[in-house]
Amino acid sequence: MSNPVIQVKRRTLHFHVEAGTSRGILTQKNSYFLQISNPSHTEFVGLGEAGPLFGLSPEFKEDAYDDFQKAVNHLPKELPRNNSEVASWISAIPFDQPSFRFAAEMAIIDYLNQRDGIYFPSDFTDRQAPVPINGLIWMGSKEYMQKQIEAKLAEGLTCLKLKIGAIDFESEIDLIRSIRDSHSEKALTIRLDANGAFSVPEAAYKLEKLSKYGIHSIEQPIKAGQWNEMAHLCKQSEIPIALDEELIGVQDSVEVLETIRPAYIILKPSFLGGFGATMQWINLANEKKIGWWITSALESNVGLQAIAQFTGQFTDLIPQGLGTGLLYANNLASGLYTRQGNIYFDSKFPRENPFQNLSL
């Protein structure tokens, strides 16, 4: 029998429209795919995806292909025999390369399962059970954000997440007020994501002004790394605070949660180093009675499919951040689809393998 082959390829994904964040405007991004295959058993392969992002992923470079290939080359030649050996196998990739770890873990889980893209079997994969999601509103002009909001509401979404910090604060307040004037808290949940846009001196004032509009939560009001200041905000803010960027690169998860004591944590598997690492955060959050939800990080449908399936294993979920599958003009086909505020997975829909149509 032939030995398994591990390959890496790159694809540049192009956004349908400009995606505004506090770190700038995104029009395209690179994703790097990992395939594990066996020449003597070609029916099933294992697929993974790494998509490091500027300003967030420690391994980000304009072109991270060589670094990803080097990381893959350091993986043990003998593959894990079962899922219990996966964590040890991916530990050969350094902790400060979380999206590479995520891709390797994805690919080996897929390869071991031998179910053609079924990473985490559950009612989500086998019976098209829905997972609730929020609608993401990108930064931009007030008019642009308003158009996005109207489109999401027309789709039947009942939870919106607005990225704020790109336009002046009073215009953002006006926008949020206009939404709340026509949609009650019971009818529509509003989440905010500041991506660290508030300075420490102004954060308490801005949170107090925003609190008048029935905000469910706000992610990362100030920049990561200011644990004492964030802890103070968590104590005094009427809006529950969620940690996002604060979790990236943190090895002592107990210390950060006990110091800051947030209301929620936002879990991005590709920033945390994979699904095993994400599960550790979930267990700790449950133990400390901290809420959580899972969010994709601009992966293609390959990565999103695995993240959605991982999320679909859990029950009694609040809306998750998984509605990014329509971002790209050249995305890869998958069994994922969204409808009226939920994401679904149809296992009968063939998964598109990027190694069948990619070149470097």
Catalytic residues: 163, 268
Contact 216, 263 (CB under 8 A): no
**DSSP characters over 297-360:** -S--HHHHHHHHHHHTT-SSPPPBB---TTSBTTPPP-SEEEETTEEEE-TTSPPPPGGGT---
d(CA 311, CA 133): 11
16/353 Cα distance (integer angstroms): 21
Rounded distance, CA 4 to CA 2, Å? Answer: 7
CB 96 within 8 A of CB 305: no
Sequence-distant (6+) residues with CB within 8 A of 37 are: 4, 5, 7, 45, 46
